[in-house]
Amino acid sequence: MGYRFEAGRIYRMPTHFGAAHGPRQLPDDIAVDPKRGPRRLSVAASFLTDPAALERHLPDGFTLAEPVVTVEFHHMTDIDWLAGRGYTMIWVTWPATFVGRRDRATGKFLAVIWENLADPIITGRDEIGHPKLYAEIAEPRRCNGAQICAAGWMGFRFLELEVSQLRDAESDRRSAASDGTLMLKYTPRTGAWGEADLCQVTLTPAADPDNHIEQRQTGVGTVRFHKASWSDLPTMHHVVNALAALPVIEARGGAVTLSRGGKSYRDQRVLL
Amino acid sequence: MGYRFEAGRIYRMPTHFGAAHGPRQLPDDIAVDPKRGPRRLSVAASFLTDPAALERHLPDGFTLAEPVVTVEFHHMTDIDWLAGRGYTMIWVTWPATFVGRRDRATGKFLAVIWENLADPIITGRDEIGHPKLYAEIAEPRRCNGAQICAAGWMGFRFLELEVSQLRDAESDRRSAASDGTLMLKYTPRTGAWGEADLCQVTLTPAADPDNHIEQRQTGVGTVRFHKASWSDLPTMHHVVNALAALPVIEARGGAVTLSRGGKSYRDQRVLL
Amino acid sequence: MGYRFEAGRIYRMPTHFGAAHGPRQLPDDIAVDPKRGPRRLSVAASFLTDPAALERHLPDGFTLAEPVVTVEFHHMTDIDWLAGRGYTMIWVTWPATFVGRRDRATGKFLAVIWENLADPIITGRDEIGHPKLYAEIAEPRRCNGAQICAAGWMGFRFLELEVSQLRDAESDRRSAASDGTLMLKYTPRTGAWGEADLCQVTLTPAADPDNHIEQRQTGVGTVRFHKASWSDLPTMHHVVNALAALPVIEARGGAVTLSRGGKSYRDQRVLL
Amino acid sequence: MGYRFEAGRIYRMPTHFGAAHGPRQLPDDIAVDPKRGPRRLSVAASFLTDPAALERHLPDGFTLAEPVVTVEFHHMTDIDWLAGRGYTMIWVTWPATFVGRRDRATGKFLAVIWENLADPIITGRDEIGHPKLYAEIAEPRRCNGAQICAAGWMGFRFLELEVSQLRDAESDRRSAASDGTLMLKYTPRTGAWGEADLCQVTLTPAADPDNHIEQRQTGVGTVRFHKASWSDLPTMHHVVNALAALPVIEARGGAVTLSRGGKSYRDQRVLL
Q: pLDDT (tens digit, 9 = 90+) per residue, A116-134? A: 999 999 999 999 999 999 9
Average pLDDT over residues C70-84: 98
Helix (H) or strand (E) holding D142, with range, is strand D141-143
pLDDT at residue number C2 = 87
D153 contacts: CB under 8 Å, gap ≥ 6: D134, D135, D136, D232, D233, D236
The percent of residues in chain C predicted with pLDDT above 90, rounded, is 94
pLDDT of residue B170: 79
At residue A2, the pLDDT reads 87
Task: Identify the burial level of D4 via C-beta atoms within 10 angstroms of its C-beta, where 0-12 means exposed, 13-18 middle and 19 or more buried.
Answer: exposed
CB contact D50 to C (< 8 Å)? no
Q: What is the pLDDT of residue C74?
A: 98
For residues A30 and D177, the model is more confident at A30
* Interchain proximity D86–B144, CB inside 8 Å: no
Average pLDDT, chain C: 96
Tell me what pLDDT residue D1 has. Answer: 66
Report the C-alpha dihedral over residues A75, A77, A80, A84, rounded to 10 degrees: 150
Gyration radius of chain D over CA positions: 19
- Beta-carbon separation of A157 and D155 below 8 A: yes
Burial of C170 (0-12, 13-18, 19+ CB in 10 A): exposed
Q: How are beta strands B104-115 and B132-134 bridged, if at all?
A: parallel
Model pLDDT, residue B128: 98
pLDDT one-digit tens code per residue, B90-120: 999 999 999 999 999 999 999 999 999 999 9
Count of CB contacts below 8 A, A vs B? 251
C-alpha distance from A139 to closest chain C C-alpha (Å): 7
Chain D nearest-CA distance from B142, in A, is 5
In a structure prediction context, what are the per-residue pLDDT tens digits for chain D, which is 272 residues long?
689 999 999 999 999 999 999 999 999 999 889 999 899 999 999 999 999 999 999 999 999 999 999 999 999 999 999 999 999 999 999 999 999 999 999 999 999 999 999 999 999 999 999 999 999 999 999 998 999 999 999 999 999 999 999 999 976 655 667 999 999 999 999 999 999 999 999 999 999 999 999 999 999 999 999 999 999 999 999 999 999 999 999 999 999 999 999 999 999 999 99
pLDDT in tens, A151-185: 999 999 999 999 999 999 976 655 667 999 999 99
Burial of C168 (C-beta count, 10 Å sphere; 0-12/13-18/19+): exposed
pLDDT digits (tens, 9 = 90+) for A195-224: 999 999 999 999 999 999 999 999 999 999
pLDDT score, position B71: 98
List of chains touching B (3+ CB pairs within 8 A): A, C, D
Confidence at A272, pLDDT banded by 50, 70, 90 = very high
- Which residues between 135 and 154 in chain B have a beta carbon less than 8 angstroms from any beta carbon of chain D? 138-139, 141-144, 148
* D231 vs A contacts (CB less than 8 Å): 143-144, 148
Global model pTM greater than 0.80? yes
C82 versus C176: the higher-pLDDT residue is: C82
Q: Quick one: B40 exposed, middle or buried, by C-beta within 10 A (0-12, 13-18, 19+)?
A: buried
Which of C116, C137, C144, C164 to mutate to test binding with chain A, by most A CBs within 10 Å of its CB? C144
The predicted-structure confidence for B5-36, as pLDDT tens digits, reads as follows: 999 999 999 999 999 999 999 999 998 899 99
CA distance C212 to C258: 9
- At D72, is the secondary structure helix, strand, or coil? strand
Query: In angstroms, what separates the C-alpha of A146 from chain C's closest C-alpha?
Result: 10
Asked whether residue B172 carries a pLDDT value surpassing 80, the answer given is no
C176-200 pLDDT tens trace: 679 999 999 999 999 999 999 999 9
Does residue C173 surpass a pLDDT of 60? no
Are D184 and D223 in contact by the 8 Å Cβ rule? The answer is no
CA distance D56 to B192: 69
Q: Using CB atoms, which residue from B22, B188, B268 is nearest to A127?
A: B188
* Confidence band of C31 (pLDDT split at 50, 70, 90): confident
Q: Report helix, strand or coil for D207.
A: coil
Q: What is the mean pLDDT of chain A?
A: 96
Instruction: Report pLDDT for D172.
Output: 62
* CB-based contacts of B230, cutoff 8 Å, min separation 6: A21, A27, A30, A83, B237
pLDDT band at B174 (very low <50, low <70, confident <90, very high): low
% residues pLDDT > 70 (chain C): 97
Predicted pLDDT at A153: 98
What is the mean predicted confidence (pLDDT) over B75-85? 97
Mean pLDDT along residues A48-53: 98
Here the ipTM equals: 0.96
Over 70: is that where the pLDDT of A143 sits? Answer: yes
What's the mean per-residue pLDDT of chain B?
96
Residues 176-205 of D with CB under 8 A from B: none
- Residues β-bridged to residue C46: C70
Q: What is the mean pLDDT of residues A185-195?
A: 97
Distance of CA C143 to the CA centre of its chain: 25
Name B75's Cβ contacts closer than 8 Å, sequence gap at least 6: B40, B41, B42, B43, B86, B88, B139, B140
Cβ–Cβ gap C24/D193 under 8 Å: yes
CA D126 and chain centroid, separation? 14
Kindly report the nearest CA distance between residue B124 and chain D, in angstroms: 22
Report DSSP letters for C53-111, one per residue: HHHTT--TTEEES--EEEEEEEEEE--GGGTT--EEEEEEEEEEEEE-SS-EEEEEEEE
Strand runs (DSSP E) across chain C, as ranges?
39-48, 62-64, 68-77, 87-99, 104-115, 132-134, 136-137, 141-143, 146-153, 156-168, 180-188, 196-205, 212-225, 250-260, 269-271
Say what the pLDDT of residue C170 is.
79
d(CA A73, CA A77): 13
Q: How confident is the model at residue A262 (pLDDT cuts 50, 70, 90)?
A: very high
Question: Which residue of chain B is at minimal alpha-carbon distance from A62?
Answer: B2
